[in-house]
Each structure stands twice: as C-alpha cells, then as structure tokens.
Amino acid sequence: MTSHSAPRTRGAKLTTRRAKETDAWAIKDLIDRYVASGTLLPRTLDFIKDYAHEFIVAVDRDKVIGSVHLDEYAPSLAELRSLAVDPEYQGRGVGRLLVQATEKLATARGYHTLFAVSNDEEFFKRFGFEKRHIPELDLERSEVSRFKGVHAKDLHPSSP
C-alpha cells in the first residue's frame, strides 16, 4: 500500500502506512484513550501485535498519531474498527486520511461493503457511509456496540 499525504499542518508531515508489529504499543495507547468513554472496545497488546498487518497508522514524521483496523467480517464484507486519533492531532484531517486509506485497502482486497459501528454518524456520513442494517452483525454485537449505529458504504473492488 502506498502512503497517503495530507497537507502540512502547523509543521506536521502527515502520512499513512501499513502498521508494523513495532507500532503495537503506540496503537494500544491510542485505542486505550477511547475505551473508558465507550467509544472504542479494548484491544490487547497481543491482539494488536498478531494483527498489525491489518492496521493502518497515521504518522507525523516517525510518531504514530492515529490508527485504524480493517477486519474481514465475511468474504465481501469488512469492518473499519478501532479508529483513533491522538487528541493533539484531531481536526487536522488525520481521521479522513485513515478512512481513505482503509477504503483503498478494502477495495484492493475485493470487499464490496465497508462498515463501521459508531455513534458518530456525521463523521462517517462525510465519507459516503449511510446507516444500514448488516444482518451478519445481528448475532455478533457486544453489549457495548449494540446501541451504536452501523454505517456502511458500498465499495467498487478493482478488477483483476
């Protein structure tokens, strides 16, 4: 996956890239900032290390400032999960970069639908996600996520 660049903001050089196992502590720290509020579900360090290849990180030079996890739910369905941005970088387009990079990766992998479980409908609406019922989630939703909205977007997978 090629990295994406955002405009320079206050001296920052923001890019995205696929995460590496060595990013696991930084990713966990980002996710943990949003667990107490119920915004995100917790992830263990072992989980993040084992699935680092499924995460995308946003970096400012070498500092991890945001992360997102692309999780296959079914052969044509993937979830954008654990989207987290360092509070110091919020409002600078980091979330946008991460969503765009996730869409690009999901499209390249041939997923037809990308969804997110979130209470932030307005954020996902900006990227073309709409509230939608995903039947595959009915039996799987946790008590924490059961009351959040499901936002989905149809992708157009690349032809071989």
9 occurs within a structural domain: no
Please tell me whether residue 93 adopts helix, strand or coil conformation.
coil
27 occurs within a structural domain: yes
85 occurs within a structural domain: yes
Partners of 59 in the beta sheet? 15, 64
* pLDDT higher than 50, residue 30: yes
Return the pLDDT at 1.
44
Return the pLDDT at 5.
46
82 occurs within a structural domain: yes
Counted domains in the chain? 1
* pLDDT higher than 60, residue 143: no
Which of 10, 112, 26, 29 has the alpha carbon at shortest distance from 64? 26
Q: How far is CA 80 from CA 61, 96, 102, 129, 136, in A?
A: 24, 13, 7, 11, 15
Q: pTM score, two decimals?
A: 0.86
* pLDDT higher than 70, residue 67: yes
96-103: average pLDDT:
97
114 occurs within a structural domain: yes
| Residue range(s) defining the domain that contains residue 39 | 14-154
Top-confidence residue, 5 or 93 = 93
Return the pLDDT at 148.
75
6 occurs within a structural domain: no
Q: How far is CA 46 from CA 21, 26, 27, in A?
A: 10, 13, 12
DSSP state letter for 148: S
Partners of 78 in the beta sheet? 72, 114
